[in-house]
Amino acid sequence: MKQEIKDREQRSTTSGASMLTVNKKKAVILVIVVTFLVVVTSCASRNHGMYYQKSPEITFASFSPTGQTFAAVFSWEHINGIILFSHNGIALKWLCKNTKKKYFSEPKFSPDGTKIAYVSGEEYKYTSIYIMDKDGGNIRRLTDSSNQDHTPAFSADGRQVFFSRRPPSDERISPRSDVWCVDLESRKEKRITNYSFARFYSLAVLPDDKHILISGFIKPQFQHLLWKVNIDHPEIISTLIPDLTPFAGQPATRFLDKYEPSIAVPFKGISKDGRFIVFPWSNPEPNGGYANPQAYVTDMTNMKTTMLPSQDYSKSVPIAISPDGRLILINKYPRPTPPFGPIYPNSILYMVNRDGSGLRNLNLDFTAIWPEVLEAKRIHERG
């Protein structure tokens, strides 16, 4: 009996020592792995100014009247601003940068190309419409209220900026939105619609300066989302329905239970002559709901619609169309994860011709503004 107890104690001691040795080995391995990851991350983040972190996003673009440049929102980690790019993806100038509280969004070139309207403010609190010269100078505030002003769009004569206004909300797309306009010279504001849109997506002024194009829900019982509204008589409103039947037998889908089935057309750009619009749309039949929207272009003269090529049917969102309606800028997801440096190959940005030919990826070149990008990152890291 005594010998059995002694043997049991010896086995327990040996087992405990073995477990301790294993735990020590695990601890050593864990320390080595963590140290390795820290060193690799540190080296990667300092390797020739390249950062192996979240890929940058380029959104809300607007072509200049010539189509040779476009202004777009640049976001990377906590850095945000509006950058002027050449049509082939070269960053020419960082027009405005964010602060810790304010952000910039939705740039729109004026018809003559001398000015850019945009949105700035504190997200979910207030946002206002601003305007600047095409080189980023002479910034001035056009609207000043406690509301959220969005979707700026110049009138065809360039004298007014139309925009949507809604009360402050924690939602990106909140109810009770309506269209207003502000005169550039006097800064006087005027309310255009009184529909209290249940959802508001996009806005454009048509070339005749007598009508605006709106994407949004007016009332739950209304079926469609694309509207042509008379500016002087906003009670005169007509429905526009892109022909999506070549792609789906029943293209309409139900947004919420209280809404009738509708065709969502959150258009992202319109040609200068008002003929072509581009928008993302999720085919409810093959894609099973709202997965993987694709890029489409509609001819407003006959509502015929073309799906732009996607290669792999990943998420494709058009963000701008050139004034002449020939080129379309597309964001394709999922985004790649190459290191972000002065030269950023295989970006999420693609350019394609309106007829669907010539799809090409834009290799973005940030060389001209790279020192500013690094300085903005250092400022943010210092707090």
CATH number, domain with residue 91? 2.120.10.30
Predicted local confidence at residue 123, as pLDDT: 63
Q: Are residues 145 and 189 in the same domain?
A: yes
Q: Are residues 25 and 67 in the same domain?
A: no
Q: Are residues 40 and 138 in the same domain?
A: no
Predicted local confidence at residue 93, as pLDDT: 97
Is residue 6 in some structural domain? no
pLDDT at 380 over 70: yes
Model confidence pLDDT, tens digit, residues 169-215: 655 555 688 999 999 999 999 999 998 887 788 999 999 999 999 99
pLDDT at 48 over 50: no
pLDDT at 4 over 70: no
Q: Are residues 42 and 147 in the same domain?
A: no
Q: Are residues 28 and 74 in the same domain?
A: no
Q: Are residues 55 and 196 in the same domain?
A: yes
Q: Are residues 269 and 138 in the same domain?
A: yes
The total of other beta-carbon atoms located within 10 Å of residue 136's CB is 18
Nearest to 94 by CA among 105, 110, 75, 81: 81
> Which residue segment(s) compose the domain that 177 sits in?
48-382
Q: 45 vs 7, which has greater pLDDT?
A: 7
| Lookup result for tokens 């597309």 | 330
Q: Are residues 77 and 20 in the same domain?
A: no
Cα separations in angstroms, 213 against 221, 288, 341: 20, 29, 39
Cβ atoms of residues 67 and 272 within 8 Å: no
Nearest to 169 by CA among 197, 148, 187: 148
Is residue 15 in some structural domain? yes
Number of domains the chain contains? 2
Model confidence pLDDT, tens digit, residues 62-105: 999 999 999 999 988 778 899 999 999 999 999 998 866 678 99
The total of other beta-carbon atoms located within 10 Å of residue 380's CB is 13
User: Rounded to an integer, what distance in angstroms lies between the CA atom of residue 26 and that of residue 44?
Assistant: 26
- Which tokens sit at 383? 């707090």
Model confidence pLDDT, tens digit, residues 241-253: 999 999 988 888 7
User: Rounded to an integer, what distance in angstroms lies between the CA atom of residue 182 and that of residue 69?
Assistant: 26
Predicted local confidence at residue 287, as pLDDT: 55
Q: Are residues 217 and 330 in the same domain?
A: yes
Residue 298 pLDDT grade (very low, low, confident, very high; cuts 50, 70, 90)? very high
SS3 content of the chain, % helix, strand, coil (to 5): 15, 40, 45
Cβ atoms of residues 91 and 369 within 8 Å: yes
pLDDT at 52 over 70: no
Give kind and range of the element (H or E) at residue 161: strand 160-166
Is residue 57 in some structural domain? yes
Q: Are residues 128 and 19 in the same domain?
A: no
Cα separations in angstroms, 344 against 56, 341, 348, 363, 366: 9, 6, 10, 6, 8
Is residue 116 in some structural domain? yes
Phi and psi, residue 301, nearest 5°: -75, -30
Is residue 5 in some structural domain? no
Is residue 285 in some structural domain? yes
Q: Are residues 370 and 247 in the same domain?
A: yes
Is residue 120 in some structural domain? yes
User: Rounded to an integer, what distance in angstroms lies between the CA atom of residue 156 and that of residue 145?
Assistant: 25
Nearest to 201 by CA among 129, 275, 125, 150: 150
H helix intervals, the chain: 2-46, 370-382
Is residue 3 in some structural domain? no
Q: Are residues 54 and 41 in the same domain?
A: no
